[in-house]
Structure 1
């Protein structure tokens, strides 16, 4: 097609967009709105239906333990098919790179957001965004469903660890990760217009719009019963910061606001986000978000498509039943139930992001980036993030009797607990697979690895996950490092009304602490119930969150190479009956308030 303005990279984006849209058939437009899971989309489907986007759900890669090079080869196969379509519109290829490029074996895995919130370091978070973007691009993908900018008001929520914290101001500060993922927008950038630097950057996605962290009882996909003023003040405010940084896409929430599902809220998606806030990128559904809407309508999927598209959803993460979706969408447009203007608006927004991202000029993987995946620079950054995220809650059973820092040259050290030598537990959900799993799931260092690497040559390190009373009575340990916590979980599978320490963690601590001076390292996606006797028996206690692949950051801190500076990003409650509880509540009576953290010198740090 000679003379195509849309192929001229020097032409203004809006001119290119208008030209391309004018050339598209209805079928091509509907294809652009559709996002499919790659396992059900052979390259021929991408080409023939002009599919706009593919994704890999958690664990959906070329094969188990596939490297970035393997991923790049796979993604390029699909991208080349898209380029062979009539108009040659490139694909957006999405992935849940929510704490590093966590689906890819060997990638750097950073702490989950609840830990990053504890750092209070917006520049660190921006640099993590940069590193993640490079590792995503090295795998051929160009779109991440991150960051989550939910304000979590209840730790019973199964996605609590995806939130930077309970405080709106803190979450707004941590939205700096978008400038890392997409690049720093230039002075004069128009708020709400998408921006991407193109150099080693990826399209970001602020999620989940809006109020997902404020549902009743912390239920995932639940209902936020809030006034509009409270929704705007507490939960919508971080999106203002995302828009100012040019975030390209925003994902609608599975949850509801005052009984109206967000995927069906024309008021919030169109009137507020697009019109009032001026968002010019595109709104994407969550995975099978339209299927969720089908529940009130029985099996009427077509009604769900009608409701969601007319509400303002621009791209639909189908991700499996794409034939049915396209059939129903086509019928609704041809019957006039969805206006052509609504379709054109959605496609304009999708194409705008693709032009801004430079996909027409640079659609294929940049394989020169593969050497950056899991490189020392990125792992050092992750280790720094671990150090800054750890929160010291206790150090010593009496004044001037601190356990930390530990002695690197102690004679014999016991390392114990379910989480001491389990990289999968250390990383949490959204790692290797959707739910995460136990074991050596990727490249990294466990706490045990890090301790062994740190101590002196003459120090003996003994590992026993759950040592017997007899064993403890017959051994002479200088101290014990006991790592306990939660196994991996995601979304509704993580909803927890009791929030106790699972896997017999508290009992393991009790049996050891009665005989050996004990440091407890709690790995969790949220505050958990800490019984008074547990804190009393522990000589020192650290909240380590879900630190990711670099356990060396924990060793750096417990042996005194760095001073503690992490502060709680969420209130640590006393009993679940107090929940929801956040700073500013009338009955605020926490075990540890938000912002709490000790230093090795015993100083208390508070916001």
Structure 2
């Protein structure tokens, strides 16, 4: 009798553990289940607090593992210049991000947080990363395949620091160079911007033939991309940042919208909303365009994200009625809000609005569905933690070589010789003595521009790279004496018997509204340096700038003129072409105006009278050895 009782208890014990085993099978944790099935299963398990947490993106400065855990935070970001430590290594970045992730994974449902960063010309916040030319220079190359390779290299360098999400590319069509973000735009011509969306499969991987739309991230060596800023950011009145784009519907859709069609067809995972307005309506509150057109008409299935405090700026002044801003932004169709600091205020306001039926649960569920779809699609549930396996990709030689190639192809030769028979370029490597002058000749930060290490960028030796002066010295014959004087006087230039001079001048770094300019002049002593040097000796002038600048008054004294844009960390690419190892091939991605009084002026305008037209660029052959 005792034996049969033991047998019976044993059967019950086995059945109990079998039932426990079945109960432990959780559909959303099964990578073999379809993404939409996993999303649906997880959504059914989530509370309102967990859903609103997923919609919340916070800055790393206010984040911790405990904050992420307690608030179910869906995403953390590094804003411009926000780093765990000065010159932080890949390991330091990874340790910080994994600490946040441990907080997320310790929550009831274990939903991983998504870390994001502005990687707009390489992993540009990170010390020692390869800094590629800004988009305006890439537009001058006219090479989508090159841009795709840059996207792939950028993805590896972003993953090197443990980050799976990049706020790139900017697909603005800049229609006025007075805008402080014009260098983030590939061109004034929407067709070129459309072509350059090829960076998206570079960042994310090519969309499989059996998949018609995103979100899509091919693997742990790729990152989620973000097409921005939807829509019309490059068309604001007088180029004023975050201002009003005054244009009819046909104009908006024919100029500023086309690149979004290409981005969506290539599987872009996320789209960021623009600070700007369209005919007085803030884009962050524009339900017709965000939900009606982007989500419903274009059937975009990825995640829509706000810009930094983007919903705050729905009101004037920003934050004047934050509850209304949350209501308007979320109801417009924004899925994830880049809060990024006052997350308690956002969470409490959105909770209040949902409980009061001002924001519907169906709107919350749409947002969270899209967020989870992205996280499942990119494999974040299977690989939530970063490791050092990609750390050796940061600043890798192959990536620097690629950036150098991009620099070479981005250079636009605007003038070569004061007459057709007096070409100055390519310059001879062998000369008795040459002069290098100008404030941007030996300044790595200036040639990288904004969004480099700091939000606004900075002058000087801010990261690893090669200045134009250093590249000149390494290119010329060892017997050639290179003399550098940032701003030489006339006596110095005339009394030194220079064979020729290279003058490198232009802009200093800026970002966003701090770069808005109504005069677009080169700051002194740039113009004085041009006049002093070029009136005394044959000179090649290299302009380092994020856009066309006032140059017409100086063109007559200049022998050769090169637009080098913002070339980034690999200044050797400039010397490669100046000295004829490679030929000039770049074409203007923007119209170069004579006077700011002509602006805005774009190709196809009735009163089109440029100094150098859109598409202009002299071509040279490599010099014979």
Same-fold status (TM-score > 0.5):
yes
Whether 1:591 and 2:611 are equivalent positions in the alignment is: yes
Match of 1:480 in 2: 501
Whether 1:148 and 2:166 are equivalent positions in the alignment is: no
From 546, 551, 560, the counterpart of 2:571: 551
Q: Give the 4+ runs in structure 1 shifted more than 4 A.
A: none
Cα distance between partner residues in 1 of 2:78 and 2:319? 28
Larger mean CA deviation between 297-306 and 204-213 belongs to 297-306
Cα distance between partner residues in 2 of 1:504 and 1:314? 48
Extract unaligned runs of 5+ from structure 2: 1-22
Extract unaligned runs of 5+ from structure 1: 603-607
Deviations 1:119-176 (A, max 9, x none): 0000000000000000001101111111000111110111000000000110000000
Match of 2:366 in 1: 345
Match of 1:437 in 2: 458
Deviations 1:529-553 (A, max 9, x none): 1123x11111100000000000000
Equivalent residue of 1:393, what SS? Answer: strand
Deviation of the 1:83 alpha carbon: 1.1
Match of 1:245 in 2: 266
Whether 1:71 and 2:97 are equivalent positions in the alignment is: no
Contact map agreement 1:485 1:503 (CA 8 A) in 2? no
Cα distance between partner residues in 2 of 1:202 and 1:421? 34
Match of 1:524 in 2: 545
Deviation of the 1:65 alpha carbon: 1.1
Equivalent residue of 2:311, what SS? Answer: helix
Contact map agreement 2:487 2:525 (CA 8 A) in 1? no
Match of 1:542 in 2: 562
Deviation of the 1:215 alpha carbon: 1.0
Cα distance between partner residues in 2 of 1:42 and 1:199? 24
Question: How is 1:183-582 mapped onto 2 (pairs within 5 angstroms)?
Answer: 183-191=205-213, 193-295=214-316, 299-532=320-553, 534-582=554-602
Contact map agreement 1:137 1:366 (CA 8 A) in 2? no
Match of 1:125 in 2: 147
Evaluate the alpha carbon distance shift between residue 411 and residue 368 of structure 1 in structure 2; reply closer, same or farther with a 3 A threshold: same
Deviation of the 1:561 alpha carbon: 0.5
Match of 2:43 in 1: 21
Deviation of the 1:376 alpha carbon: 0.9
From 173, 179, 191, the counterpart of 2:201: 179
Cα distance between partner residues in 2 of 1:600 and 1:507? 29
Contact map agreement 2:73 2:104 (CA 8 A) in 1? yes
Deviations 1:291-334 (A, max 9, x none): 11132687210110000000101000000011111111111011
Match of 2:66 in 1: 44
Contact map agreement 1:415 1:463 (CA 8 A) in 2? yes
Whether 1:168 and 2:199 are equivalent positions in the alignment is: no
Deviation of the 1:577 alpha carbon: 1.1
Alignment root-mean-square deviation, CA = 1.2
Cα distance between partner residues in 1 of 2:266 and 2:538? 49
Cα distance between partner residues in 1 of 2:484 and 2:52? 57
Cα distance between partner residues in 2 of 1:169 and 1:469? 46
Equivalent residue of 1:392, what SS? Answer: strand
Contact map agreement 2:169 2:200 (CA 8 A) in 1? yes
Between structure 1 and structure 2, the one with the greater Rg is 2
Match of 2:133 in 1: 111
Cα distance between partner residues in 2 of 1:369 and 1:351? 25
Contact map agreement 2:64 2:99 (CA 8 A) in 1? no
Deviations 1:470-521 (A, max 9, x none): 2223211111111001000011111111111123211111001111111100
Equivalent residue of 1:415, what SS? Answer: strand
Equivalent residue of 1:527, what SS? Answer: coil
Cα distance between partner residues in 1 of 2:103 and 2:112? 9
